[in-house]
Amino acid sequence: MNLHDAPLRDTLTGWRRALHAIPETGFEEAKTSAFVIRVLKALGLEVHTGIGGTGLVANLKVGSGKGTIGLRAEMDALNITELPADRAYASTTPGKMHACGHDGHMSIILGAAQLLSERRDFDGTVRFIFQPAEEHGRGAKAMMEDGLFQRFPVDEIYGLHNMPGMRAGTFATRAGGLMASEDNFVIHVKGRGTHAARPHMGIDPIVIGAQIVLALQTIVSRTLDPSAQAVVSCTEFITDGIRNAIPSNVVIKGDTRSYDPEVQRMLAARMREISEGICRVHGAGCEFSYTHEFAPTVNWAGCVPTAVAAATAVVGAENVNADVAPMMISEDFGAFLQAVPGAFVFLGNGAEGEPGGTPLHNGSYDFNDEVLSTGARYFAEIVRMRLPAQGHTTN
């Protein structure tokens, strides 16, 4: 930890814990955005609100440079009950908490805004983008549909996510696919209910549904090219039956993860064929739906060297992994990367068993305040590298 980081770390910790106490879920981030706006205006930034709902953009222009860099944070929390309710800054909203660290991400971007507004050691424009509704993959699209990049164009955009299980303060990224798409599916098997003692009188959707669940697992193992990546997961199996009655309906829900649009199309087609085919063989009806929730997060090769160089300048080369293995998790940032160049990185929140090591989306999770200033300095370094002031040398 850089000793000069202490005042910045304390400020960011105060912001982070204040945000942690007021969690709000997607498109409801009114208190959250109001807090962010107050901080940004206190820093002297020009703030534009109501973009894609509760989203906002703050601009900081220094000098006459034409370049523009976007830095993004997400604002929403999760419908999860905070388990360590005795934390001094615990959620004040029952059933909601910042269990993914978006409170920390906002504070990091606010910290970068403070550093850059104080030092003014760049030449160009920085846009600080605060996005609503990341958790369900709706906020990025909403902002773009509201003219985000037409009203506030950027040359490049950068983001990060904290990562429990990675040593605190380390960075990881890669060129190309970093995180997968997420598609959701619903399969409704329509059978005919009957008494459990007289199964021959009905069409059992549980047996049919079980066959569908097993058959779906053959798509990845027998249809997908082994060099490609995909996951098919059935996560819910719902019936309208009772103990002594075979139900009439089974609903199977789940999601798929992949990186390639062609793979997404193949998954959807094969899942429909399998589901409808098995139902038809048994004389049951079938309704199948498949929706695209998250785009894959695919880093632009031309932007990753900047992300790696900035991270290296902040924490040293030994703490930066420039070719991390891709993960099958999803992030709404992928939608932005389909529209403009940019790169996304992981920031270590803490190794397993250490502070910050509790998994994401867990009621006991908490953002590690020790890495807040690291993240803020990383983003500030990106700006200085991409929008260099004349005569300025990055340190």
CATH number at residue 276: 3.30.70.360
Neighbours of 280 (CB within 10 A): 11
Is the domain of 125 the same as that of 145?
Answer: yes
Backbone Cα Rg of the chain: 24
Give me the half-sphere count of Cα atoms (radius 13 Å) on the Cβ side of residue 301. Answer: 1
pLDDT for 92 equals 97
Sites in the chain below the pLDDT cut of 50 = 1, 3, 394-395
3-state class (DSSP) for residue 267: helix
pLDDT for 85 equals 80
Tell whether 41 is covered by a domain: yes
Is the domain of 132 the same as that of 35?
Answer: yes
Is the domain of 303 the same as that of 286?
Answer: no
Q: How far apart are CA 119 and CA 114, in angstroms?
A: 8
Is the domain of 166 the same as that of 75?
Answer: yes
Q: How far apart are CA 378 and CA 104, in angstroms?
A: 14
Q: Token digits for 174? A: 């890669």
Q: How far apart are CA 229 and CA 217, in angstroms?
A: 14
Domain endpoint, select from 293, 311, 338 = 293
Q: Token digits for 395? A: 């340190």
Is the domain of 285 the same as that of 300?
Answer: no
Among 82, 123, 134, 332, the one annotated catalytic: 134
Among 76, 121, 156, 369, the one annotated catalytic: 76
Does 273 participate in catalysis according to the annotation?
no
Confirm whether residue 188 is marked as ligand binding.
no
Does 134 participate in catalysis according to the annotation?
yes
Tell whether 209 is covered by a domain: yes
pLDDT for 84 equals 85
Is the domain of 304 the same as that of 232?
Answer: no
Give me the half-sphere count of Cα atoms (radius 13 Å) on the Cβ side of residue 33. Answer: 25
Tell whether 392 is covered by a domain: no
pLDDT for 262 equals 96
Confirm whether residue 282 is marked as ligand binding.
no
Is the domain of 72 the same as that of 189?
Answer: no
Confirm whether residue 135 is marked as ligand binding.
yes
pLDDT for 329 equals 96
Q: How far apart are CA 118 and CA 47, in angstroms?
A: 17
Is the domain of 195 the same as that of 128?
Answer: no
Confirm whether residue 262 is marked as ligand binding.
no
Report the candidate in 104, 120, 225, 115 with the shortest Cα–Cα distance to residue 161: 104
Q: How far apart are CA 48 and CA 57, in angstroms?
A: 5
Is the domain of 158 the same as that of 304?
Answer: yes
Sign of torsion, CA 10 16 17 18?
A: positive
Domain endpoint, select from 293, 326, 347 = 293
Q: How many helices (H) and strands (E) does the chain have?
A: 10, 16
Domain that holds residue 221: 183-293
How far lies 164's CA from each of 228, 341, 368, in Å?
26, 27, 9
Is the domain of 194 the same as that of 176?
Answer: no
Confirm whether residue 29 is marked as ligand binding.
no
pLDDT for 5 equals 76
Is the domain of 49 the same as that of 176?
Answer: yes
Tell whether 266 is covered by a domain: yes
* Overall number of domains in the chain: 2
Is the domain of 174 the same as that of 225?
Answer: no
